[in-house]
Amino acid sequence: MAEDLGVITPGVEKLRDDFGFPGMKVLQFAWSDPANPFLPHNHPVNCIVYTGTHDNNTTRGWWENEVDARTRGFVNDYLGHDVQDVVWSMARAGMRSAGRVFIMPMQDVLALGSSARMNSPGKRAGNWNWRLPLDALDHRGKDALLHITRLYQRHPDQQPKR
């Protein structure tokens, strides 16, 4: 895959496409206008969709601490309902994408807030300290993730044999 985030030149896009590398689509970057390439309806098949990355806040932390009223309104309008559980609303949006692969960081599966953020670029200390709790696999998030993985036919058992 190619990390094609930030300022990307046409040459970088050509290189990515010439080699067939999937690009990245991060849902937290999507909420400016309907033409935004990070919105699920604009995703190409050859991409990897993320709720967020190691350099972003958790989805819950982003929603609670970084999203302004205009963005919140656009998210609600796009999804067609007032978001009550942003983590699973974003997960469902990512699963519905045409993108070939969907990735959800464990902090999002566990619906953790900003205290579980992995990395803050430019911050000199305090990064990369989050660890997966020992009881994490007993969390309801695993069942929710399995449910939507099957619902949107992304489970390996639902894929055609090659």
Q: Reduced to 3 states, what is the DSSP secondary structure of residue 103?
A: strand
Cα separation, 113 vs 61, whole angstroms: 4
Structural contact between residues 113 and 61, judged by C-beta atoms closer than 8 angstroms: yes
One-letter amino acid at 97 equals S
For the stretch 90-140, pLDDT in tens is 999 999 999 999 999 999 999 999 999 999 999 989 899 999 988 888 888
Query: What's this model's pTM, rounded to 2 decimal places?
Result: 0.90
For the stretch 45-73, pLDDT in tens is 999 999 999 999 999 999 999 999 999 99
Q: Could you give the C-alpha distances from 37 to 18, 57, 129, 133, 162, in angstroms and in order?
A: 20, 20, 32, 34, 30
